[in-house]
Amino acid sequence: MRKCYDSVQIKLRMLITVLLIMVVMVGYSRQASQISGKVVSVEDNELLPGVSILVKGTSRGTVTNMDGEFSVQAASGDVLTVSFIGFTTQEVNVNGGQTTYEILLESSMGDLGEVVVVGYGSQRKADITSAISVINMDNVGEVPTTNVTRLLQGQAAGVQVRQNSGRPGEEMEVTIRGIGSLGAGSQPLYVVDGFPIGTSLGQSLNPADVESMTVLKDAASTAIYGARGSNGVILITTKSAKEGTVNLDFVANQGIQNIPDGRRTKMMNGTEFAQFKNDSFVDRIRYYEKREPALEEIPLEFRFPNQNTISTDWFDEILNQNAKFQNYNVTLSSGKGGIRSLVSVGYINQEGAVIETGFERFNVRANIGGKINDFISMGWNIAASRSNEDYASTNGRSALIGRALWADPRYPVYNEDGSFNDYIGGTNGVFGTANVVQELHEMERTLTENNLLTNGFLEFTFLKDFKFRTSVNAILDNSDQKEFRPSTLAGTGFNQAPPREASLYQRRNETLNIAADQLLSYSKILGRHKVDGLLGFSAQEETFKYLQGNGNEFPNDQVTYLSAAIRQTSTSGEADWSLMAYFARANYSFNDRYLFSASFRREGSSRFGSDNKWGNFPAFSAGWRISEESFMPETPWITDLKIRGSFGITGNNAIGNYSSLSNMGISNYVLGNSIANGQILSNFANSNLGWEQSQQTDIGLDWAMFDNRLSLTAEYYNRLTNNMLLSVEMPVISGFTQSLDNVGQVRNRGLELALDYRTKFNQLNIRSNVNLTINRNEVLEIRGENDEIWAGGFYSTYSVSQVGRPLAMFHGFEMVGIFDTDAEIEAWPNQDGAVPGTYKYLDTNGDGVISYDQQDMIEIGNPHPDYVLGYTLGGDFKNFDFNLMFTGAFNYDVFRQIEGSTMNMDGVFNILQSGVNRWRSAENPGDGRGATSNTWKWQRESNSRYVYDATHVWLRNITLGYTIPKNPIVPNARVFFSAENPFLFTSYIGTNPEARTRGGINIGVDDESYPMPRTFTLGASLRF
Amino acid sequence: MKKYLNITVICIGFLLLSTACDEEFLNKTDPTVLVSDNFYQTEKQVIQAVNGVYGQLRSWHLSQWQYTEFISDNTTLHFNQGDRGQGPSLEALEFWQYNPATGNITNLYNSTYGIMVNANTTLSKLPESNATDAIKMRSEGELKMIRAYLYFHLVQHFGDVIIITEPVKSPAEAFEYNRSPVETVYQQIISDLNFAVGALPASHGSDDVGRVTKGAALSLLGKVYLTRKNYSGAIEALNQVTGLGYGLLQKYEDIFDPQKKNHQESIWDIQYQGDNQIGVNSNFIYTFAPRESVGAVIDFPGQDGGGWNTPTNEIIALYEEGDLRKEVSLKEGYTNLQGVYVGVPYINKFNHPHTIRGVTNDNWPVIRYADVLLMLAEAINEVDGPTGTAYGYLNEIRDRAGLEPVNGLGKDAFREVLLNERRIELAFENHRWFDLKRTKTASELVTMLNSYGLRERANPTTSREGIPFSNNDFIFEAFEILFPIPQDQMRINSSLVQNPGY
């Protein structure tokens, strides 16, 4: 392996040498002279300051001054590229003799001349024939966020961004054009400055460093990323210096975060819970013994609920109200001269909405680049970050939030002497648990991550139309995690009173990812023919290592290191993957009207079976700019009109590193009273394991109207995922219940609409963007016709994927009411164990029995929204500006897990406040939603009662800004106010309709995650 | 100049297309484990592969009590209102509420075939390995003995089962197998055991104590014959065991003492080791101790047991006055840390001091000499009635227990006495369910279990805190003598036919 790696490097070095020689040989220069002129807006004939003027193919350029004038060195035959935001870029030929020029620029909102970053290159927007969304950073607003994924929210059709929890620093869940895989991952590939860093962006990139983002959605745009293109690609470009300017930017943003009342799960208070326990004793005796209980039969602690004096709202106790948020960024950029550079420093600190949690990060980034001479240009980028997180395990019933909700409210947080009350509950059938407040204070849980990313390129221009670019990328990531649970805390399970054995977990990870790309590109305009070509080679390798230690039983809780532990165990490991690919792309356009593009990638991956390591990923697309045709009438309705279509094949390799191999696992025994090493097969080998492939067809329409004031992009897509990488069941007589195989087919097809509108009323500029996504998902095939994949469990909910249905539909009993009487139960199909007050279920298979297994379970909910909406409204008036951003998802279901845990009324947990309206007798049937406390059977199991419509609209962000009038000290200054996640409009009674507590395809389960704060910040940005 | 450029282009093309080391660059194996393709070659690897199978038996035995004691009239549970998670899985076995979806039956079925694949794979790779002939022979004997033991469990639990004796090469191949009749399964078992009897040594060197022996194979063969009612075959096999130097220990409690492991009476023990965190420990007492004992039974602060496999009132009452085994086998209650006596019984055989919470050192006796003697007595009685030899074996056991010998019984009465003696002597060692199936007809079993169920419903061994039984609890029907084939397996392979009644 080492030898091979070296040989890739040798190749690279040889290549550079050859090219350097060549560059020297072709190096020569022409005579240039000074030319000057001014730039004027066509519309209102005003002089334009700040317009960028570049001698094409060189690094020479300038910017017009306050009077719209410029001067630059150029030779006859050179071409000046004149560009300015909001205007169409113009190219002006320099003629020998002419030294002054008046250049007229045409206004163009939604500029078609704009250049868009695409895979391994960039392309003029007008020439694009595939489905690409460019995130307009103006529409994002001043978002107080630690993670770049937040910037994608609500911004592009077909891109769904879910905020699963309010954990500081959390990366959001991004899905492009639906879930395409049942077995492998569905996350997009993130490419930062040309470097494919993986299917998770992680926490190291500073949102303030992001210049632009492009989302590649169809196969024509993603096939160039081959085996990682199936789930879409997100290209992120970080900031670099603007040509001709020197700036010092300072941005500060500070604020507070709170959990609004509507985002809290309401539980019974101490008195209500005591009353519930009292009632449940009474009801049981009344029903089973048909008599009135004597007062003494009720345990003393519940006998007089009204005398209950303690009522702890555990959830409230763990909240950190008015949690601070602060973010500072300083950027120094220099764009004067041939070599441009930028240095930025950022610091962000987000206290958690839960006490003793928080996230903090330092970022530095520096890049330098530009033209060395007319033939060589280079760039180098280095970014480092260090983050510290004080975390807590928060999601799910047995984690912090869950326990804060179900802990017995009749216990105080503190004892009378001010010490923590260290054991909550644990009497009369109520589960005992640790004091969550104490746990947050006394547990040490930290995660520190250091991330170093560096990449650079060298680009040679030769033979006028050719470019060769060689680049290397590397990420080194180290993390250190530590968890110490002191002996003072009760156990993590139920009824484990303190003191317990202290325990420590400490782990270090290191990931090194290195990639090298070689790109040869060609670009030529021959009259009406325009040709671009690209040839490339890419290799990437990742090595992951970890070292982990566990310690148990500590002499004290003060020394919290492994060396102090009386018992220690340790483990270490390593995992690697590699890929190698050859690729090519050709774009051809004729007369700016007929556009064609084709790409091909052949990629090999270490993750696949020896018989199937290599995959081929072709794609084709074509476009027709109808508006350019002479037969099209000149009408304000059509500024630009293009129809386009594409087809391509992409892959998915997100299956884990060694899945095709059968490995030996350890199964030790004891022989002769000592340990004897034993080895067993750990999985079923499949050397045929190959690529999961997606075939995607896309038809799109780009239509700009009224001088680009209104533009519409509409897409239809049909994405078929074939040969899914799926863990398929097989008869266990093989020794294993499952093996990974390429089977089945899933289809995602849908419509995307993006409508952009800009207008001006006097001094009020308004821009508005709405994007709509309609995705329909269907499993077309698994293995056999009636095959189904079940995920989840009997006591939560099942996510079932069946042929002919969308994947991961909720399955459970269909609840049709509550039994009121024994007679009613008698008349109903046999539901063993039901008593009056039990949920009444449908006997769906009609066998007369509602069996206590999956037989009568049917589809009870759909976790996929009918449509998803993003809406931005922004504008400015004089010095004021504003931006509003909404997201919405419509007509989909969430399974609310906490109801299954607490609304079975077994009283081992505190109960949702709504449980006070439960069924108590036929005369007092409650709200028809809560069951009797006389039995729990049939109330914990997956059923339709716990499925809720989660249709919602979030007002995600409001930003209001005021630009301070120009003054000599600070030429550009702006102050702003931002409200993040201020309002949620929904009928869903849980706290977060986007919650997705479970992984994999067990989607749409809300199991009480980290609460979502509402954040208000005030900030200022200064530019010197 | 143009010439140079052409050379450059060619060079680039060459570099881009050369693929000399691609395959090497793309071949990644997990550095932390070995790949099975390269395993089973050296002698050491063969031994490790066999050890791996024993290792699987070690974890498999942690849950076998569920299917053999818990399901029977020997033990019950201490009902836990708060923990409903085990309702449809573990409690279903106790209350005979199991169905094809019962998780713990699926676990039994899956884990048994999960061991089988390693036995079969190692057996198939043995001939090509570099191991010495002696190791090959021993290993083949061990693996076939273990395979027979597993099929013996499967056939008793499920009736007709799929026989697989080779690893499958592709998932598709696994669909070609179907259930074989009980008779064929027994032929397979007997053939494997006959091989093991010939291949295994009577004892192993001190480094290998814990491996199965000729004695273990003969004892198991005897038990298989006894189950098949081939009494002469059973007598022949078991008589050979008596000549191998085994004997009863003087004190019943010593049998289970972790300080005296692998003693004269143990023919096959599953080996566990405590006092370290390597993961080869047992933890039976953590499952069996009363659920609210809070450190009073297991000597760690706040430690509760699982409250499972609780001795029933019925078995407690069965102990004769003065039976020395009673205090060793079970406790009728405990005194909690507040000094209050709590009358929740528990199994005491596997309750010994240990240093690490959750990590015990107790071995599990699979076959011990007392079992062999009682089987011999049973077989002899069936052939010749209660002869002096039969009484001799029975009274040897009773004598150690401090009980008076029995005499002067008829054949049927002797059979009943013997069955009770087995119930007490081998209590909670996973014999009861199979003993009942072997000695009772289906209708006898149905009558017997339902009357036990009625008694347990009327007067539960442990308090249910006012929670009534479900209507179908403790109702035993004849078809429930066999477990259902797990639902998942039926669904995956539609050519399988389910046991009647499910």
Q: How far apart are CA A740 and CA A720, in angstroms?
A: 20
User: pLDDT higher for A435 or B14?
Assistant: A435
Name residues whose C-beta falls within 8 Å of residue B339's C-beta, 6 or more positions apart in sequence: none
Q: Is B176 on the interface with A (CB under 8 A)?
A: no
Structural domain ending residue among the three candidates B293, B325, B347: B347
Interface probe with B: pick from A608, A612, A680, A851, most Cβ of B within 10 Å: A680
CB distance A938 to A839 below 8 Å: yes
The segments of chain A whose pLDDT lies below 50 read: 1-5, 7, 10, 21-30, 109-110
Q: Give the distance from residue B14's alpha carbon to the nearest chain A alpha carbon, in angstroms.
A: 10
Q: What angle do CA A463, A465, A469 make, to 5 degrees?
A: 90
B159 and B45 within one domain: yes
Q: Which domains does chain A have, with CATH numbers?
A: 34-107 (2.60.40.1120), 115-240 (2.170.130.10), 814-856+905-937 (no CATH)
For A393, list phi and psi in degrees, rounded to 5.
-75, 110
Nearest to A668 among B17, B110, B279 (CB): B279
Please give the residue of chain B at the shortest CA–CA distance from A7.
B21
Q: How far apart are CA B268 and CA B204, in angstroms?
A: 12
Q: Which of B371, B412, B361, B364 is nearest to B394 (CA)?
A: B371
Domain range for B342 is: 285-347
Q: For residue B71, tell me if it sits in a domain.
A: yes
The residues pairing with A366 across neighbouring beta strands, listed in sequence order, are A343, A382
Nearest to A670 among B36, B273, B304 (CB): B273
CA torsion, ordered B227, B232, B234, B239, to nearest 10 deg: 160
Nearest to B101 among A582, A675, A854 (CB): A854
Q: How far apart are CA A561 and CA A549, in angstroms?
A: 10
Q: How far apart are CA A474 and CA A452, in angstroms?
A: 8
**Collapsed DSSP state (helix, strand, coil) of residue B176:** coil
Q: How far apart are CA A479 and CA A386, in angstroms?
A: 9
Helices and strands per DSSP (H, E), number in chain A: 9, 51
Q: How many domains does chain B have?
A: 2
pLDDT (average), residues B286-312: 92
Q: How far apart are CA A396 and CA A63, in angstroms?
A: 57
* Contacts with A498 from chain B: Cβ below 8 Å: 302
B165 and B51 within one domain: yes
* Residue A45: predicted pLDDT: 67
AA letter at B41: Q
Q: For residue B316, tell me if it sits in a domain.
A: yes
Q: Quick one: three-class SS letters along A11-56?
A: HHHHHHHHHHHHHHHHCCCCCCEEEEEEEEECCCCCECCCCEEEEC
B466 and B341 within one domain: no
For A568, list phi and psi in degrees, rounded to 5.
-130, 140
E strand or H helix that includes residue B457? helix B442-458
CB distance A588 to A620 below 8 Å: no
- In the A/B pair of chains, how many CB contacts fall below 8 A? 290
Q: B109 vs A732: CB contact, 8 Å cut-off? A: yes
Please give the residue of chain B at the shortest CA–CA distance from A906.
B82
CB distance B414 to B390 below 8 Å: yes
Q: Is B210 on the interface with A (CB under 8 A)?
A: yes
Q: Give the distance from residue A776's alpha carbon to the nearest chain B alpha carbon, in angstroms.
A: 28
Concatenating the DSSP letter of every residue in B290-304 gives: -TT-TTSSSSSTT--
Q: How far apart are CA A108 and CA A436, in angstroms?
A: 58
- Radius of gyration of chain B from Cα atoms? 27
For B415, list phi and psi in degrees, rounded to 5.
-60, -45
Structural domain ending residue among the three candidates B347, B366, B399: B347
Q: Is B317 on the interface with A (CB under 8 A)?
A: no
Concatenating the DSSP letter of every residue in A414-426 gives: B-TTSSB---B--
CB distance B107 to B63 below 8 Å: yes
E strand or H helix that includes residue A740? strand A738-761
Q: Which of A272, A477, A244 is nearest to A383 (CA)?
A: A477
Interface probe with A: pick from B41, B51, B97, most Cβ of A within 10 Å: B51
For A930, list phi and psi in degrees, rounded to 5.
-100, 140
AA letter at A716: Y
Name residues whose C-beta falls within 8 Å of residue B334's C-beta, 6 or more positions apart in sequence: B290, B293, B296, B297, B341, B342, B344, B346
Q: For residue B193, tell me if it sits in a domain.
A: yes
Q: Which of A308, A357, A431 is nearest to A146 (CA)?
A: A357
Q: What are the structure tokens assigned to B435, written together? A: 């003993």
Q: For residue B28, tell me if it sits in a domain.
A: no
For A967, list phi and psi in degrees, rounded to 5.
-140, 160
pTM: 0.83
Q: B51 vs A671: CB contact, 8 Å cut-off? A: yes
* Contacts with A685 from chain B: Cβ below 8 Å: 36-37
Q: Give the distance from residue A54's alpha carbon to the nearest chain B alpha carbon, in angstroms.
A: 28
Q: How far apart are CA A393 and CA A603, in angstroms?
A: 39
Q: Give the distance from residue A958's alpha carbon to the nearest chain B alpha carbon, in angstroms.
A: 46
**Collapsed DSSP state (helix, strand, coil) of residue A96:** coil
B471 and B338 within one domain: no
* CA A83 and chain centroid, separation: 34
Q: Give the distance from residue B148's alpha carbon to the nearest chain A alpha carbon, in angstroms.
A: 15
Instruction: Kindly give the pairing relationship between strand A466-485 and strand A503-526.
Output: antiparallel
Q: How far apart are CA A319 and CA A166, in angstroms?
A: 12
B436 and B343 within one domain: no
Please give the residue of chain B at the shortest CA–CA distance from A552.
B356
The residues pairing with A238 across neighbouring beta strands, listed in sequence order, are A210
Residue with tokens 């065991």: B241
For A534, list phi and psi in degrees, rounded to 5.
-145, 135
Residue with tokens 């494919």: A196
Residue A404 to residues A397, A1011, B179, B405, Cα–Cα distance (Å): 9, 12, 51, 63
CB distance A546 to A572 below 8 Å: yes
CB distance B438 to B401 below 8 Å: no
Q: A658 vs B30: CB contact, 8 Å cut-off? A: yes
Q: A663 vs B33: CB contact, 8 Å cut-off? A: yes
Structural domain ending residue among the three candidates B314, B347, B380: B347
Q: How far apart are CA B93 and CA A152, in angstroms?
A: 52
Q: Give the distance from residue A730's alpha carbon to the nearest chain B alpha carbon, in angstroms.
A: 6
B292 and B152 within one domain: no
* Residue A1: predicted pLDDT: 38
Q: How many residues belong to chain B?
A: 502
Q: How far apart are CA A654 and CA A384, in angstroms?
A: 27
AA letter at A798: Y
Q: How far apart are CA B75 and CA B428, in angstroms?
A: 8
Residue with tokens 């036929």: A922
Q: How far apart are CA B178 and CA B195, in angstroms?
A: 25
CB distance A342 to A378 below 8 Å: no
E strand or H helix that includes residue A400? helix A400-406
Q: For residue B273, tell me if it sits in a domain.
A: no
**Collapsed DSSP state (helix, strand, coil) of residue A260:** coil
* Chain segment B338-368, per-residue pLDDT in tens: 999 999 999 999 999 999 999 999 999 999 9
* Contacts with A576 from chain B: Cβ below 8 Å: 28, 31
Q: For residue B73, tell me if it sits in a domain.
A: yes
CATH code (residue B123): 1.25.40.390
Q: Give the distance from residue B402's alpha carbon to the nearest chain A alpha carbon, in angstroms.
A: 32
Please give the residue of chain A at the shortest CA–CA distance from B22.
A580
Q: For residue B53, tell me if it sits in a domain.
A: yes
B197: left (phi over 0), alpha (psi -120 to 50) or beta: alpha
Q: How many residues belong to chain A?
A: 1024
In sign, the C-alpha dihedral spanning B251, B256, B259, B265 is positive
Q: How far apart are CA A341 and CA A368, in angstroms?
A: 4
Q: B208 vs A735: CB contact, 8 Å cut-off? A: no
Q: For residue B420, tell me if it sits in a domain.
A: no
Q: Verify cis geometry, omega within 30 degrees of 0, for the bond prior to A499.
A: yes
AA letter at A525: I
Q: Is B261 on the interface with A (CB under 8 A)?
A: yes
* In chain B, % of residues over pLDDT 70: 94
Instruction: Kindly give the pairing relationship between strand A173-176 and strand A189-192.
Output: unpaired
- Radius of gyration of chain A from Cα atoms? 32
Q: How far apart are CA B238 and CA B37, in angstroms?
A: 41
Q: Tell which B residues from 456 to 495 touch A, by Cβ distance under 8 Å.
A: 465-466, 468, 470-472, 487-489, 492-493
CB distance A680 to A205 below 8 Å: no
pLDDT band at B166 (very low <50, low <70, confident <90, very high): very high
Q: B54 vs A678: CB contact, 8 Å cut-off? A: yes
B315 and B170 within one domain: no
Q: How far apart are CA A366 and CA B314, in angstroms?
A: 80
B458 and B319 within one domain: no
Name residues whose C-beta falls within 8 Å of residue B193's C-beta, 6 or more positions apart in sequence: B144, B145, B148, B217, B220, B221, B224
Q: Quick one: three-class SS letters along A773-818?
A: EEEEEEEEECCCCCCEEEEECCCCCEEEEECCCCCCEEEEECEEEE
Q: Is B387 on the interface with A (CB under 8 A)?
A: no
* Residue A16: predicted pLDDT: 54
* Contacts with A18 from chain B: Cβ below 8 Å: 8, 11-12
Q: A669 vs B278: CB contact, 8 Å cut-off? A: no
Q: How far apart are CA A679 and CA B372, in angstroms?
A: 32
